[in-house]
Amino acid sequence: MPDTPHLLARPWAYSAFPVAVRARRALSPHFLRLTFGGETLRHFAPWGADQRIKLVLPLPGGGLADFGLLAEPTPHPSDWYARWKALPVDERNVLRTYTPAAIRPEAGEIDVDFYLHSPEGPASRWARTAEIGETLVITGPDARNGWTGYGIHWQPPALGTFLLVADETAIPAVRNIAAALPGSRSSRSAMPPTTSPCRRWATRSTCASSAAARQRRPSARGARRRSITPGWPGSRVW
């Protein structure tokens, strides 16, 4: 978050975007893509391959609690997040962090891919039953502020070969990063075996992909990295 919000055109690098579900698409048995639409998304900034956004899920009965998020312009989190935290837990909207699968400001649309956990978490439970027209709020970068870099971690050096290690929830970021790499660079991705039906759409032709079982021991993780990147001097892991 910028330390000098007064330099922004709005109080915060992010704005709140009211949206509605426009389309549903099953990508695999475990992945569901929801397309959200809204007129204000024309101001959504499509800058980062791994751009972090926040989904403000509807309350169980629908709607948004009153914590000031939809004030115009969107308040700084020191205001709205503090008010959200002050609410009783059962009266708060659930907040979850995602990376967009695609952003189309000209169409006022954004795609979000949901991994359908088992047991289900709040977001995957909501996504599984969300109907066309159902509404929620997304917070994300506002193009009216200009470039801020807030919520973006992928800033690769000019040269190098990249190993992208991801769990199921990071597949949209891996796909976006692989698509953004110039043809002169190479990358390889390692994802859990449960993503195998999706690796064909998670990577591009110049990005090799393999399944990688989860390992909790540091020594096992190091061995796995060496097995994925043999002969890759100077490789970078993300």
> For residue 6, what pLDDT is reported?
44
Q: How far apart are CA 106 and CA 27, in angstroms?
A: 24
Q: Cα dihedral sign for 138, 144, 150, 152? A: positive
- Provide the H-helix boundaries in 107-204: 122-129, 171-180, 199-202
Q: Determine contact, residues 116/30, Cβ cutoff 8 Å.
A: yes
Helix, strand, coil fractions of the chain, as percent rounded to 5? 30, 25, 45
Residue in 222, 170, 160, 217 with CA at minimum distance from that of residue 191: 170
Q: Is 166 exposed, middle or buried (0-12, 13-18, 19+ CB in 10 A)?
A: buried
> For residue 183, what pLDDT is reported?
64
CA-to-CA separations, 40 to 47, 70, 71, 135, in angstroms, rounded: 17, 12, 13, 13
| Amino acid of residue 158 | A
Q: How far apart are CA 209 and CA 228, in angstroms?
A: 10
Rg (CA), the chain: 19
Residue in 177, 144, 172 with CA at minimum distance from that of residue 45: 144
Cα-to-chain-centroid distance, residue 11? 22
pLDDT in 10s for each residue of the chain, 238 residues? 444 444 677 899 999 999 999 999 999 999 999 999 999 999 999 988 899 999 999 999 999 999 999 999 999 999 999 999 999 999 999 999 999 999 999 999 999 999 998 889 999 999 999 999 999 999 999 999 999 999 998 887 666 677 777 788 888 888 888 888 776 555 555 555 454 444 454 444 344 444 444 455 554 445 444 444 445 555 566 6
Q: How far apart are CA 94 and CA 122, in angstroms?
A: 7
